[in-house]
């Protein structure tokens, strides 16, 4: 149900904000359309079925892409050289070809004429098979939702991450039984900086568990099991960010994850990943998410951990509008835009709760059809666990009052250590109480016209419009370099991963991009719905 407007926002100001966001995003979109990266090319190979790694853990997709790049470059993509080598050489599969390439026993070329046409046809067939697998997993989700039912909003989102996937599984199932609707398996610290995806089930991780295809498969099966037990669908979340964003998005689609952390600037600002690499990788990853029916969660909440949550409130709105534009261009529907924001205002500030309500209601009204993800307080959590529990309850209350869609539960000792299981249980109890006690309080919450909450929301929107105008004129890459978001400066040619960016040559060919660019990402899902049971 679309929430009713309560802030009487100026419709022209909202339209202006979106027009400016589109203008600011256009040069970035053009850059993404005219460049590729090593991870985009490796994602194609994963779609085509290439998996596994050598004895040292280096994936075969890395070996194959690196061999092509070393011999003929990536300006034309990996598809033509790889499938030409398959058609003309002795290797019967991508796996055999990759193993031979790793030993230096394959000579790649850029085929022409009939050889190029044959390679294109073979590559298209392989990419189509991968996309078909993603379509089938999306249809599988829809069937399961029909069988077990979907929990109502707000969905309760809980993090599980022991480092050991076999420990994560029972914890995730226990969390679901206690009321969690979304389980997020956060990644091991530093995985976003690895330019490869680890292989297999992993049992060692620091402050998180490695994102691998096998870990995805294991957790998906476990949550399906508990979904059938509970009679409601439990969603699985992981992270498609960092240097392997396109590949992890592809694996998520193949293993039927439901949400992925996938923000347009988080990796740039907080992981020092090159801005160009990030934006190019992200367009492909979001196209995959659109096709897979995955909800993306964005990371605007992180800006407020480094910047003041009052002074920088408008930068959250600006980033959300940019994320919306980038998401729409990549094919994401509004129902897939899990735009992020957070409850991070200093609780000692007089009127802090009214400010939080103003910000949360503004986001809700700007994006009425988006499944907003509301993040709990972290920056001002202290060793006073009783005050922390109260602050989390106020956060839960704000989420219910303003109709947030996804509430990430706050835990009273979150700012001190990795939360204990008992902390998670108390956090679930807290949010359950507030949600059940308040019921449909959002229907009754009506800020006074021209009162503090309404005036604050209008001011933040006006500041966002002003900032978007400057960004549209000066360029988003320059704004990031100037520290506009999260008070962290990241120059366009700095950071990790720039060496993996390649400008496309005339004749560049990637059959996955060809399919994703030309087909409605949701058409296959609609076709599945029309098939008689």
373 is catalytic: yes
Residue with tokens 């009204």: 365
- Classify residue 59 by its DSSP letter: B
Task: Please tell me whether residue 36 adopts helix, strand or coil conformation.
Answer: strand
Q: Which of 181, 301, 392, 423 is catalytic?
A: 301
Catalytic residue of the set 196, 233, 266, 508: 266
Rounded to the nearest 5 percent, the helix, strand and coil shares of the chain are 55, 10, 35
239 prior amide bond cis, ω within 30: no
Phi, psi (rounded to 5 degrees) for 93: -150, 165
**Interatomic CA distance for residues 475 and 10, integer angstroms:** 26
Q: Which residue has the tokens 């040619």?
A: 493
**Buried-exposed string 472-491: b where 16+ CB fall within 10 A, e elsewhere:** beeebbebbbeebbbebebe
Sign of CA dihedral 141, 142, 148, 151: positive
Q: Quote the distance between the C-alpha of residue 474 and its chain's center.
A: 27
Tell me if residue 473 is catalytic. no
Active-site entry in 239, 373, 389, 392: 373
26: which 2 tokens? Answer: 């256009």
Residue in 36, 128, 139 with CA at minimum distance from that of residue 83: 128
Residue with tokens 């011999």: 71
- CB-based contacts of 30, cutoff 8 Å, min separation 6: none
Which amino acids are annotated catalytic?
266, 301, 373
């Amino acid at each position: 149900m679309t929430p009713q407007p309560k802030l009487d926002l100026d419709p022209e100001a909202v339209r202006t904000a979106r027009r400016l966001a589109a203008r600011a995003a256009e040069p970035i979109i053009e850059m993404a359309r005219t460049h590729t990266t090593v991870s985009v090319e490796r994602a194609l190979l994963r779609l085509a079925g290439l998996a596994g790694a050598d004895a040292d853990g280096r994936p075969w997709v890395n070996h194959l892409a690196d061999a092509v790049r070393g011999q003929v470059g990536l300006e034309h993509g990996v598809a033509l050289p790889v499938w030409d080598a398959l058609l003309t050489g002795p290797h019967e599969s991508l796996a055999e070809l990759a193993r031979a390439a790793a030993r230096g026993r394959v000579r790649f070329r850029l085929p022409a004429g009939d050889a190029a046409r044959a390679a294109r046809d073979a590559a298209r067939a392989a990419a189509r098979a991968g996309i078909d697998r993603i379509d089938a997993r999306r249809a599988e989700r829809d069937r399961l939702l029909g069988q077990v039912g979907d929990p109502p909003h707000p969905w309760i989102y809980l993090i599980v991450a022991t480092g050991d996937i076999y420990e994560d599984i029972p914890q995730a199932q226990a969390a679901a039984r206690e009321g969690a609707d979304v389980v997020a398996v956060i990644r091991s610290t530093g995985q976003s900086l690895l330019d490869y995806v680890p292989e297999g089930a992993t049992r060692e991780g620091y402050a998180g568990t490695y994102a691998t295809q096998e870990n995805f498969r294991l957790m998906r099966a476990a949550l399906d099991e508990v979904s059938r037990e509970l009679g409601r669908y439990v969603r699985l979340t992981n992270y498609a960010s960092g240097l392997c964003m396109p590949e992890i998005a592809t694996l998520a689609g193949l293993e039927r994850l439901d949400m992925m952390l996938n923000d347009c600037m988080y990796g740039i600002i907080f992981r020092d990943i090159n801005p160009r690499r990030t934006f190019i990788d992200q367009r492909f990853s979001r196209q995959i998410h659109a096709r897979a029916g995955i909800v993306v969660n964005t990371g605007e909440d992180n800006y407020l951990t480094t910047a003041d949550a009052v002074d920088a409130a408008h930068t959250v709105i600006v980033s959300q509008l940019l994320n919306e534009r980038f998401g729409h261009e990549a094919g994401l529907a509004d129902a897939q835009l899990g735009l992020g924001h957070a409850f991070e205002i200093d609780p000692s500030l007089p009127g802090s709760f009214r400010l939080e309500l103003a910000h949360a209601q503004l986001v809700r009204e700007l994006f009425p059809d988006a499944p907003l993800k509301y993040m709990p307080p972290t920056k001002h959590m202290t060793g006073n666990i009783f005050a922390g529990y109260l602050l989390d309850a106020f956060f839960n209350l704000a989420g219910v009052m303003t109709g947030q869609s996804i509430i990430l539960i706050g835990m009273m000792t979150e700012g001190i250590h990795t939360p204990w299981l008992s902390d998670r249980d108390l956090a679930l109890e807290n949010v359950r109480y507030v949600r059940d006690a308040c019921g449909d309080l959002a229907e009754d919450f009506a800020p006074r016209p021209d009162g503090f909450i309404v005036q604050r929301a209008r001011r933040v929107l006006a500041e966002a419009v002003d900032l978007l105008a400057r960004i549209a004129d000066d360029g988003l890459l320059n704004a990031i370099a100037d520290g506009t978001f999260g008070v962290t400066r990241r120059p366009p040619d700095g950071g990790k991963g720039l060496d993996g960016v390649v400008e496309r040559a005339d004749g560049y060919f990637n059959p996955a991009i060809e399919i994703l660019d030309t087909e409605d990402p949701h058409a296959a899902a609609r076709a599945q719905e029309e098939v008689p049971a």
